[in-house]
Structure 1
Amino acid sequence: MSAGAINAIQLNEKVEQGVFLLDVRNPEDFADWKIEGKEVRSINIPYFDFLDDNENIYGQLPADEEIVVICAKGGSAKMVADLLDEKGFQASYLEQGMQEWSQFYRPVTVMEDDNLKLIQVNRLAKGCLSYMLISGGEALVVDPNRHIEEYLSLAEQEDAAIKYVLDTHLHADHISGGHELAEKTGAVYYISSSEMQGSELSYEPLEKQGMLEVGRAEAKILAVPTPGHTPGSVSVLVNDRYLLSGDTIFVGGLGRPDLGGKAAEWAQALYDTVFTTIASLPDDVLVLPAHYAEASEIRREGYVGAPLGEIRGNNEVMRTANRDRFAEKVAHAVGATPPNYEEIVEINRGAASASPEKATELEIGPNRCALHHG
């Protein structure tokens, strides 16, 4: 008898309901990147510890509930799950491990009325958020990740034709599916030209397009320049009510300004974004970012986002009106850079390419694009 395999869809259902996870990767890998959720309990016992026949480790595991075993690609987890099964534990394992989990997407409807439906697509393992806005049978996709079949399938379910695809900036932690999705659907691909210098990819300069209309007239997409995270970063203001903020404003912080090697200069631009461009927006605008850092940022409704007023109230840096102090705080709180970010940026600019296997390898790990300040 052997333990049963589960896939990422089944694991997500367990994560939402409550689950005990046994991660058998190395402690360093577990500390850097793991499966999280409000109802998740997890423990890290490396695979090799189970090979030593140390009976004491089994005392750390629950005897009366299912244990889902996790590893990098599934092999080690299967062997440990089978061991647990032999000892009478109720065990299963994620068939293709963290590699599979890194490619799982969960769409959640943020809002829907007669004129507009706004869907947030959460790539849970990466903390990456993308969006599909649907109105009158047309769709705009914002910040799509590289698994474009997720968006093609979603558009088909919603009976909508993808008309526009937009990247708020040149992403550094994951490979964009923007250009490929636009080519596949015949949509127009938008990104700021300052993000694509030297690129041979076809795109429409976002800075020349102040407004996009999707479907009915009520569903208007206003591109608001918000430099800071990268020079060409934009946010997209939908119907004056929903701010798709890219990597400029997060639920828990601001976008890091250091990835171009100009932290001090870009921190100044981020100041202008916060205290000029964004300052005019009312507190009840719902901020919907391109990333999040912790499962606690997922609201009970299932999406990641928060009213702008709430973010202002909780974020000290956004209340730091002194320009020099603001820039100093932002520039000195950047943390570790995203792994492989230079290579990922080159792929997103069209200056390099990667096989699906190489792309999976490059994207392994959490996103590191947010700054978090209390």
Structure 2
Amino acid sequence: MKQMTVKELTSKVLKKEHVFIFDVRNESDFKDWKIEGKNFAYLNVPYFELIDGIEAVVDRIPKDQEVIVVCAKGGSSEFVAEQLEEAGFQNVFTLVDGMQAWSEHLHKAMVYEDENMKVYQFIRVGKGCLSYMVISGKEALVVDPSRFIDVYEDVAREEGVNITHIVDSHLHADHISGGRELAERTGAKYYLMKSEGAVYHFEPLEMHDTIDFEQVQLEVLAVKTPGHTPGSVSFFVNHKLLFSGDTIFVGGLGRPDLGGKAAEWALDLYDTVYEKVAAIADDVVVLPGHYASLDDEMNGAGFVGDTLGNIRARNEMMQNQSKEEFVEMVVQNANNETPPNFEEIVAINRGLKEADAEQQQELEIGPNRCALHHTH
């Protein structure tokens, strides 16, 4: 039986290839979260409807195209793929380890390089989360690391550098941070805002206007850039790159309603957008913590990011709104669907709760919902 890895499927997403996805999960799971590609076609029929045979769906599946059978963890898709092969389909693949593996794959993309630094973006394609590594001299800084810390350690080894600094832009609600564990493994300093309420040891970002190493100066944007959470910060690197966390996205702003204080936190978000960020030049490249659509937000260079000028021009919420208009728009646009399991994930990231690898995996399954408003 032919198998396809999540890395191979990611390549097809990025190249905008034509692929047919036969998803055999329950309809509600499929509607909530699926593998997205610009030229992907889909058929969703739950596995339990196929146990007695696939005759009912054979006419709905193309024979002249790659068909990738997808389930939650890989087992059900193998059963269905075998039946398709027996029915004469030549080009059928199963996705190895299913949506569980899709949720966890990180794709590395080059973002920026000059004589002082090199920057990689790690795209979690199945979840829309972004993390970064800034390399200068023999040191590296990691921004918003996922829990798959081996990936960052492997890149550091390949580059011949030591991870010396780790920053989280805020206390994440949709995924479990790898910051604390990566710091323990590497001896790096781990920075987070004290106002986010974490109960373990870290360097409070309130105590640092800048983090300097080798040829890099990372400015912690003046106390600070709240909006998504009370302690959200952005990081301005060498006056060229703005790691915006969940404050500014390529296609929107971070949602300030997860704490149940949409109007109050929207005022903070307004001050961030119209005072702090307004002072930053148009040619600075914004590198966010999430994206909603790879098709819309990945640029021609192959990473998620855009100049601040382009983002301002596209986003009506950043254009000449009064404070009252802005708050009203934020409250109206606040998405009622919260990130799945967000209270448990926040508790883990705060250090109030422990979860083993399997529990972490289960908690993170599903899409991210951290954006407030997307423009196209």
TM-score, normalising length: structure 1: 0.95
Per the alignment, residue 98 of structure 2 pairs with 97
Per the alignment, residue 77 of structure 1 pairs with 77
Cα deviation, residue 56, structure 1: 4.4
Deviations along 1:72-122, whole A, 9 cap, x unmatched?
A: 111111111111111111211012110011111111010112211011011
2:218 maps to a residue whose letter is: I
2:120 maps to a residue whose letter is: I
Identity of aligned residues (%): 53
Per the alignment, residue 146 of structure 2 pairs with 145
Per the alignment, residue 370 of structure 1 pairs with 371
Tell me the distance in 2 between the aligned counterparts of 1:235 and 1:246: 6
Q: In the TM superposition, what are the counterparts of 1:285-304 in structure 2 within 5 Å?
A: 285-296=284-295, 297-304=297-304
Deviations along 1:206-262, whole A, 9 cap, x unmatched?
A: 02111111222xx21111121111111100001111100000000111001011121
1:254 maps to a residue whose letter is: L
Tell me the distance in 1 between the aligned counterparts of 2:96 and 2:349: 30
Per the alignment, residue 21 of structure 1 pairs with 21
> Do the aligned residues in 1 keep the contact of 2:254 with 2:372 (CA within 8 Å)?
yes
Cα deviation, residue 34, structure 1: 0.7
Q: Secondary structure of the equivalent of 1:287?
A: strand
1:373 to 1:100, Cα distance in 2 relative to 1, 3 A:
closer
1:355 maps to a residue whose letter is: D
Q: Do structure 1's residue 221 and structure 2's residue 222 form an aligned pair?
A: no
Cα deviation, residue 15, structure 1: 3.0
> Do the aligned residues in 2 keep the contact of 1:286 with 1:307 (CA within 8 Å)?
yes
Q: Secondary structure of the equivalent of 1:29?
A: helix
Tell me the distance in 2 between the aligned counterparts of 1:186 and 1:145: 17
2:325 maps to a residue whose letter is: R
Deviations along 1:276-296, whole A, 9 cap, x unmatched?
A: 000001111111100001121
Q: Secondary structure of the equivalent of 2:279?
A: coil
> Do the aligned residues in 2 keep the contact of 1:144 with 1:176 (CA within 8 Å)?
yes
Cα deviation, residue 300, structure 1: 2.6
Q: In the TM superposition, what are the counterparts of 1:307-326 in structure 2 within 5 Å?
A: 307-326=307-326
2:258 maps to a residue whose letter is: L
**Mean CA deviation greater in 158-167 or 326-335:** 326-335
Tell me the distance in 2 between the aligned counterparts of 1:14 and 1:254: 29
Cα deviation, residue 52, structure 1: 5.0
Q: Do structure 1's residue 174 and structure 2's residue 175 form an aligned pair?
A: yes
Tell me the distance in 2 between the aligned counterparts of 1:30 and 1:83: 21
Tell me the distance in 2 between the aligned counterparts of 1:48 and 1:300: 42
1:300 to 1:49, Cα distance in 2 relative to 1, 3 A:
farther
Per the alignment, residue 236 of structure 1 pairs with 235
> Do the aligned residues in 2 keep the contact of 1:132 with 1:142 (CA within 8 Å)?
yes
> Do the aligned residues in 2 keep the contact of 1:105 with 1:122 (CA within 8 Å)?
yes
Q: Secondary structure of the equivalent of 1:110?
A: strand
> Do the aligned residues in 1 keep the contact of 2:54 with 2:83 (CA within 8 Å)?
no
Q: Aligned to 1:12, which of 7, 10, 13?
A: 10
Cα deviation, residue 320, structure 1: 4.6
Tell me the distance in 1 between the aligned counterparts of 2:357 and 2:320: 43
> Do the aligned residues in 1 keep the contact of 2:22 with 2:67 (CA within 8 Å)?
yes
Deviations along 1:126-152, whole A, 9 cap, x unmatched?
A: 100000000011101000011111111
Q: Secondary structure of the equivalent of 1:51?
A: coil
> Do the aligned residues in 2 keep the contact of 1:71 with 1:98 (CA within 8 Å)?
yes
Tell me the distance in 2 between the aligned counterparts of 1:13 and 1:286: 25
Deviations along 1:310-335, whole A, 9 cap, x unmatched?
A: 11111111115211110111122121
TM-score, normalising length: structure 2: 0.95
Tell me the distance in 2 between the aligned counterparts of 1:42 and 1:111: 35
Deviations along 1:174-228, whole A, 9 cap, x unmatched?
A: 00001111111010000110012xx431101102111111222xx2111112111
> Do the aligned residues in 2 keep the contact of 1:142 with 1:165 (CA within 8 Å)?
yes
Taking only aligned residues, the RMSD between alpha carbons, in angstroms, comes to 1.4
**Mean CA deviation greater in 224-233 or 8-17:** 8-17
Deviations along 1:304-355, whole A, 9 cap, x unmatched?
A: 0111111111111111521111011112212111111111001001110100
Q: In the TM superposition, what are the counterparts of 1:110-129 in structure 2 within 5 Å?
A: 110-129=111-130
Number of corresponding residues? 368
Per the alignment, residue 203 of structure 1 pairs with 202
> Do the aligned residues in 2 keep the contact of 1:210 with 1:223 (CA within 8 Å)?
yes
Q: Which runs of 4+ in 1 moved over 6 A?
A: none
Long gaps (5+) in structure 1? none
Long gaps (5+) in structure 2? none
Per the alignment, residue 272 of structure 1 pairs with 271
> Do the aligned residues in 1 keep the contact of 2:53 with 2:83 (CA within 8 Å)?
no
> Do the aligned residues in 1 keep the contact of 2:234 with 2:247 (CA within 8 Å)?
yes
